[in-house]
A = this chain, B = another copy of it.
Amino acid sequence: MTPVSESTDHTGFWMRMVSNAVSQSFARKVETEGVTVAEWAFMRALYDMDPMPPSVLANRMGMTKGAISKLADRLLAKGLIARTESAADKRVHNLGLTREGNAKVPVLASLADENDAEFFSVLTKEEHERLDLILKALAERRGLKTTPVD
């Protein structure tokens, strides 16, 4: 009746609702390991990689340098990453996982696997596959590149 559409008319609405729920669920899981979701994303980006400067991480994670800087401070305080000076350029330093940080990644990764499997288990296999395909198509066709926070 009203000329004003409902929020629930929009795909974006449902998208966000579901996305929020997955993320929240995951946040609760990683919390048990003493890290936040952003911290997990940071560590995942570093895993299996040579230490890299904040600017590169900012780029990969789709966050600003400022955010990375503060995130790095927190992870340093937790002893999960380490800073190493760059010999060539004194402005630059590299960030890499500590032994402890490195050990934590597989644990967190399996929480991520578990969370995803659990959350989407209410879909049939066919629905789940279809959803993946559509989301990936959307991301590609829209040229989305900034890596969000899992």
Contact = CB atoms under 8 A, between A and B. Distances in A.
A18 B144 contact: yes
Contacts of A10: 112-113, 115-116, 150
A115 B123 CA distance: 28
Contacts of A7: 41, 44, 112, 147, 150
Given A106-B3, A134-B130, A141-B122, A148 B23 contact: no
A109 B21 CA distance: 24
| 4 closest A-B pairs by CB | A19-B19, A14-B135, A122-B141, A12-B22
Given A20-B148, A127-B134, 7 more contacts: A10-B112, A14-B139, A15-B22, A16-B148, A16-B150, A127-B137, A130-B130
